[in-house]
């Protein structure tokens, strides 16, 4: 979880990074929530790969909320995160 929190803090101020692949890094819980929240502020990312982190429905909802404010991300990889129909709503 600490890695997700640290990465989230960095993404909030990032203005250069356009692609980020953090698949299968075990980012879940509070760390994922912080990461998702940072996407509301980040305007440079265009591609974000999050596959294999198993953040499940709760994480998917946090991510969806963040993406409502972030219009820059055009490619999003979410495979193998345990997202059910509930999390996809």
Distance CA 20, CA 76 (A): 10
- Give the pairing of strands 47-49 and 75-77: parallel
pTM assigned to the model: 0.90
Which of 22, 29, 86 minimizes the C-alpha distance to 57?
Answer: 86
Three-state secondary structure call for residue 24: coil
pLDDT by position in tens, the chain (length 89):
578 899 999 999 999 999 999 999 999 999 999 999 999 999 999 999 999 999 999 999 999 999 999 999 999 999 999 999 999 88
């Amino acid at each position: 979880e600490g890695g997700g929190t640290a990465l989230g803090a960095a993404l909030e101020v990032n203005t250069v990074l356009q692609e980020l692949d953090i698949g299968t890094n075990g980012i879940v819980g509070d760390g994922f929530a912080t990461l998702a929240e940072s996407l509301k502020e980040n305007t440079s990312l265009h591609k974000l790969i999050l596959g294999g982190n198993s953040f499940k429905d709760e994480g998917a909802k946090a991510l969806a909320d963040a993406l409502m404010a972030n219009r820059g991300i055009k490619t999003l990889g979410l495979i193998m995160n345990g997202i059910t129909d509930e999390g996809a709503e």
